């Protein structure tokens, strides 16, 4: 409570996403002393500062590097990473793909607001092509990453996307991500009315959330739709849920083997 009032602008979606994570932890009945929430730097990465768990607010892009260290040293902890699209996929992109490749038991929630919020609206790896940012005043010519696809192809075993509008669904997705014994990546599509919204004339926070309501299609529904019907839409829901050897368990097996042979 000593950290309040929070830093987020009126209408920012990050608080809704943070609440979904807190609710998922509560629903699973986790002991708060056994949960460690790690973040990088950004508006999104401020979230752990407002949460009553073991928390680590680290450096920009490095949340997964710190989280990997925490998980290896204390595998019994439930390690959850909160990160922004810039934090996770630009400066932190290498940590993301390697954490996914290792299938380390960490749940990462990417607060994707399509822009660098904290530093004033520079384009990020998820800014759609053609959209505006302070560093793309004539339109972004980069093609955006689809972060769930990136994580899935790098080896994450649980991958999903939700939105600030579909907050109750997001709670369930985070719960399943935490329950997965391996690397889980959940993208939470956020709302940044201050920079992304203003720069791109998306209207108020409510308008942006209505846009999410009208353009998100659950993957199960999408399977029955044609490509024409899906034009301009984006997918939400559970994209991947598989089982692979988990990194800290494999590491423990080596430790056990050498203790036995000593
Ligand atoms: C090494 C380093 N480079 C750059 C910065 C400046 N910086 C702080 S936050 C940020 C981007 C934040 O964007 P994102 O991760 O998408 O989070 P958001 O603020 O949009 O939630 C940058 C570039 C920094 N703090 N450290
Ligand atoms: S700049 Fe954007 S992301 Fe950052 S607190 Fe404001 S609305 Fe939220």
192 CA to centre of ligand 2 in angstroms:
5
The DSSP bridge partners found for residue 236 are: 218
Average pLDDT, the chain: 97
pTM of the model: 0.98
pLDDT of residue 64: 98
pLDDT at 8 over 70: yes
pLDDT of residue 2: 73
pLDDT of residue 93: 98
pLDDT of residue 231: 97
pLDDT of residue 216: 98
User: Mutation test of ligand 1: which of 82, 87, 123, 127 has the most ligand atoms closer than 8 Å to its C-beta?
Assistant: 87
pLDDT of residue 227: 97
Residue 26: strand, helix, or coil? helix
235 CA to centre of ligand 1 in angstroms:
26
Closest atom of ligand 2 relative to the 111 alpha carbon: 3
pLDDT category, 1, cuts 50, 70, 90? low
Average confidence (pLDDT) over 113-131:
98
Task: Please state, in angstroms and rounded to a whole number, the distance separating the CA atoms of residues 70 and 118.
Answer: 26
Percent of the chain with pLDDT over 90: 98
Would you say the CB of residue 163 lies under 6 angstroms from ligand 1? no
User: Are the C-beta atoms of residues 90 and 123 closer than 8 Å to each other?
Assistant: no
pLDDT at 259 over 70: yes
pLDDT at 262 over 90: no
pLDDT of residue 32: 97
pLDDT of residue 151: 98
User: Are the C-beta atoms of residues 106 and 181 closer than 8 Å to each other?
Assistant: no
Closest atom of ligand 1 relative to the 118 alpha carbon: 19
Would you say the CB of residue 113 lies under 6 angstroms from ligand 1? yes
User: Edge-to-edge strands of the sheet including 216-218?
Assistant: 54-57, 35-39, 78-84, 106-112, 184-189, 158-163, 234-241, 216-218
Would you say the CB of residue 185 lies under 6 angstroms from ligand 2? no
Task: Please state, in angstroms and rounded to a whole number, the distance separating the CA atoms of residues 84 and 41.
Answer: 8
pLDDT at 87 over 70: yes
Average confidence (pLDDT) over 85-105:
98
Average confidence (pLDDT) over 216-228:
98
124 CA to centre of ligand 1 in angstroms:
10
Query: In this predicted model, what pLDDT tens digit does every residue of 144-202 receive, in sequence order?
Result: 999 999 999 999 999 999 999 999 999 999 999 999 999 999 999 999 999 999 999 99
66 CA to centre of ligand 1 in angstroms:
17
219 CA to centre of ligand 1 in angstroms:
31
Average confidence (pLDDT) over 72-88:
98
Query: In this predicted model, what pLDDT tens digit does every residue of 132-160 receive, in sequence order?
Result: 999 999 999 999 999 999 999 999 999 99
pLDDT at 256 over 80: yes
Query: In this predicted model, what pLDDT tens digit does every residue of 29-45 receive, in sequence order?
Result: 999 999 999 999 999 99
Would you say the CB of residue 135 lies under 6 angstroms from ligand 1? no
């Amino acid at each position: 409570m000593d950290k309040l009032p929070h830093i987020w602008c009126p209408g920012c979606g990050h608080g809704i996403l943070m609440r979904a994570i807190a609710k998922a932890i509560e629903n699973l009945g986790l002991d708060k002393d056994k949960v460690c929430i790690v973040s990088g730097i950004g508006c999104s990465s401020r979230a752990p500062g407002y949460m009553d768990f073991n928390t680590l607010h680290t450096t920009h892009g490095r949340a997964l590097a710190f989280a990997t260290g925490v998980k290896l040293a204390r595998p019994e902890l439930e390690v959850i990473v909160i990160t922004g699209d810039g934090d996770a996929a630009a400066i932190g992109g290498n940590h993301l793909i390697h954490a996914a490749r290792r299938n380390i038991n960490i749940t990462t929630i990417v607060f994707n607001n399509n822009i660098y919020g904290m530093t004033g609206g520079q384009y990020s790896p998820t800014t759609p092509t053609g959209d505006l940012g302070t560093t793309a005043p004539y339109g972004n010519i980069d093609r955006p990453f689809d972060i769930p696809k990136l994580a899935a192809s790098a080896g994450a075993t649980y991958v999903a996307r939700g939105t600030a509008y579909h907050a109750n669904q997001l709670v369930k997705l985070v719960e399943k991500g935490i329950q997965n014994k391996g690397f889980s990546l959940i993208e939470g599509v956020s709302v940044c009315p201050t920079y992304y919204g203003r720069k791109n004339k998306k209207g108020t926070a409510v308008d942006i959330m209505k846009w999410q309501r009208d353009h998100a299609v659950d993957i199960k529904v999408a399977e029955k739709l044609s490509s024409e019907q899906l034009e301009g839409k984006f997918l939400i829901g559970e994209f991947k849920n598989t089982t692979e050897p988990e990194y800290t368990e494999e590491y423990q097996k080596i430790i056990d083997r050498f203790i036995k042979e000593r």
